[in-house]
Amino acid sequence: MKNKELFGYGFLLLIVYLIGFQINIMDIDAAQYASISREMLDSGNFLQVFDQGKDYLDKPPFLFWISALSMKFFGITNFAYRLPSFLFALLAVFSTYRFSKLYYEQKAAVLAALILATSQGFFLMNHDVRTDTILMGSVAFSIWQLACWFQQKKIQNLIWGCIGIAIGMMTKGPIAIIVPVLAFGSQLMLTKDFKSIFKWQYLLGILIIAILLLPMSMGLYQQFDLHPEKIVNDKSHVSGIRFFYWTQSFGRITGESVWNNNANIFFLIQNMMWSFLPWIIIFLLAFINKTTSILRNRLKLDSNSEIISYAGFLLTYLALGMSKYQLPHYIFVAFPFAAIITANYINEKINDLKSNTLLKRLSSFHFIIFTLLWLVLIALLGFTFKSIPPVMAIAAGILYVGFVFVYVKKRQSKWQVVYLGLYTTIGLNFFLNLSFYPALLEFQAGSNAGTWIASHHIPVNKVSAYQYETWRSLNFYANGIVYHKDSVDKFQSGEFVITTKNKVSDFDSLHKPYQILYTGNDFKITRLSLNFLNPETREKQLSKFVLLKIK
């Protein structure tokens, strides 16, 4: 691939990411974290975390810290919440590139960065922002810096690597140190570099990490350990420090954690079938090929071999797969490893004349799969939401024709399979971010009601919910906390009420006039169904909410 082509794909990727900034924040997790960040900024208390005024003990505070600071400078906006995580996403891409350059050719390094940046999960995490984006960026950065330290012995690389680990731990707990330990431990053992297993510099690294974790640990101790009377997950005497450093991660394996969805060892790879598109088939081939090669050599590696990415992915996967509670995005921390494995495999096959047939078969298979994805996209744009202009479906159809042209024109190129993947994933996500997601979010009650409240300058302390499950997006977009009242008798004249449409008649008993100011649709948009996507059957899938004012 030529440099100008790589620059072009990078520019298009940046455009797609930035388009995603305008999408409203989705419930549940992303909106909850945004609401907590806004609440933290409002209170000025950065050491203790609260969610709607209640003690929060689930995720470490780093995401909330940097999001709150971003909101302080840029306001309570989609952009402000997403910006810090986006910067860590870019850090993950850059770190993947720089780490790959330490061991592989320039083209393989660039390709690894592109594969990571164009995986479907990566697009998703850049607009549905959770802790995993920062975790991925900080861990990828620490892996790169520690690899530099092992090669060049410069103490600044060790320091930066430990800073990356500390940030990851302040974002999602011990997994941030487990991943590097597993990856580099395997490298040292299999290359028989036993002298590097015990170094005094590790003590310096541990000290750096411990110092950086002090603010978080102090906040946890003050908020929970000093208050054993607090009830957390139906338990008293809960240690916040123990929770973050043990229960939240290892407790899901030992059974101490209350979280359990009975996920099995194959759960994460099943979800990678969509989240690592369009590269998942090649990754599976690359992983099998790497495994076969390692076993064929009886786990014997020379000192120049790189096993960090392979062991990093495999052992991280197994560690996460043993958890009794798993979600699809948990595996995102290992995506940089998967990208490196995939890129190196593609580069090797491109340089191997005997692999022409394999590459052509992969291109043909991907052409069929990607054609189906393009047709699904065109259907989504053309037949689901009236708010999507018809020109979007037409434009997607034109780009599909361009996709066919790329397939035909690049038939003789060994890079054809890469061109098809890049073209498809960038094209699909351009239309999803520009049209489909914004149309979908028209049915998210919280963000729509919150935006309406803020735009009409209604004081949030005058708004309450009545027998209605509100979402955190309501708090974020209304720029305040909407509390609940369980009885109509608790409402006074001049107050505003958000409730379901069938509960409006309850306010007749107040014998006070009320006015319905706003009515909207409510649907849990993260649980898409064919009945919802079908305009003919959608109405039955919706519930209605209202915002009324008691006069």
Summarize pLDDT for 450-461 with one digit per residue, the tens. 999 999 999 999
Q: Which helix (H) or strand (E) holds 55?
A: strand 54-55
**Token pair 């609940």: residue:** 484
Same domain for 417 and 461, yes or no, is no
Same domain for 543 and 463, yes or no, is yes
Residue 256 confidence (pLDDT):
63
Residue 326 confidence (pLDDT):
84
> Does the pLDDT value for residue 493 go beyond 80?
yes
| CA nearest neighbour of 141 among 92, 204, 84 | 92
458 is in which domain, residue-wise? 444-550
* Whole-number Å distance between alpha carbons of 395 and 176: 42
Same domain for 80 and 165, yes or no, is yes
Between 407 and 302, the higher pLDDT residue:
407
Does residue 288 lie within any of the structural domains? Answer: yes
* Whole-number Å distance between alpha carbons of 401 and 413: 19
Residue 467 confidence (pLDDT):
86
According to DSSP H, which parts of 44-174 are helical?
62-74, 78-103, 106-117, 120-125, 131-152, 155-172
Q: What's phi and psi for 105, nearest 5 deg?
A: -65, 160
Segment of 188-192, 209-213, 466-470 carrying the highest mean pLDDT? 209-213
| CA nearest neighbour of 215 among 379, 60, 421, 6 | 60
Same domain for 411 and 328, yes or no, is no
Same domain for 45 and 101, yes or no, is yes
Does residue 260 lie within any of the structural domains? Answer: no
Average pLDDT on 380-407 reads 94
Whether the ω angle into residue 28 lies within 30 degrees of 0, i.e. cis, is yes
Same domain for 111 and 18, yes or no, is yes
- Domains of the chain: total: 3
pTM of the model: 0.93
Q: Which residues have a Cβ under 8 Å from the Cβ of 499 and sit 6 or more positions away?
A: 465, 466, 467, 468, 506, 545, 546, 548
Residue pair 88/66 in contact by the 8 Å Cβ criterion: no
Same domain for 56 and 78, yes or no, is yes
> Does the pLDDT value for residue 83 go beyond 90?
yes
> Does the pLDDT value for residue 89 go beyond 70?
yes
Residue 497 confidence (pLDDT):
93
Last residue of a domain, one of 442, 471, 506: 442
> Which band of pLDDT confidence, cut at 50, 70 and 90, is reported for residue 254?
low
Does residue 485 lie within any of the structural domains? Answer: yes
Does residue 169 lie within any of the structural domains? Answer: yes
* Whole-number Å distance between alpha carbons of 350 and 74: 46
Q: Cα dist. 395→14, 76, 106, 400, 401 in Å? A: 20, 33, 35, 9, 10
Same domain for 57 and 30, yes or no, is yes
* Whole-number Å distance between alpha carbons of 95 and 312: 15
Does residue 82 lie within any of the structural domains? Answer: yes
Q: Which helix (H) or strand (E) holds 484?
A: strand 483-485
User: To the nearest 10°, the Cα dihedral for 85, 87, 92, 97?
Assistant: 160
Residue 74 confidence (pLDDT):
94
**Token pair 């909207």: residue:** 520
Does residue 67 lie within any of the structural domains? Answer: yes
Last residue of a domain, one of 388, 419, 442: 442
| CA nearest neighbour of 116 among 143, 78, 152 | 143
| CA nearest neighbour of 313 among 284, 333, 295 | 333
Helix (H, G, I), strand (E, B) or coil at 27: coil
Same domain for 9 and 136, yes or no, is yes
Residue 251 confidence (pLDDT):
65
> Which band of pLDDT confidence, cut at 50, 70 and 90, is reported for residue 355?
confident
For strands 496-500 and 543-550, give the pairing.
antiparallel
Same domain for 424 and 279, yes or no, is no
* Whole-number Å distance between alpha carbons of 52 and 128: 21
* Whole-number Å distance between alpha carbons of 61 and 131: 10
> Which band of pLDDT confidence, cut at 50, 70 and 90, is reported for residue 150?
very high
The two tokens of residue 241 are 């420090």
Same domain for 160 and 235, yes or no, is yes
Does residue 499 lie within any of the structural domains? Answer: yes
Residue 253 confidence (pLDDT):
63
Between 191 and 253, the higher pLDDT residue:
191
Which DSSP symbol is given to 436? I
The DSSP bridge partners found for residue 484 are 465
Q: Which residues of 144-155 are buried (b: 16+ CB within 10 A; e: fewer)?
A: bbbbbbbeeeee
Which DSSP symbol is given to 264? -
Reported as a single tens digit per residue, the pLDDT across 111-129 is: 999 999 999 999 999 988 9
Same domain for 293 and 197, yes or no, is yes
Reported as a single tens digit per residue, the pLDDT across 425-436 is: 999 999 999 999
Residue 303 confidence (pLDDT):
66
Last residue of a domain, one of 328, 351, 374: 351
Question: What is the percent of the chain with per-residue pLDDT over 90, rounded to a whole number?
Answer: 66
The DSSP bridge partners found for residue 544 are 521
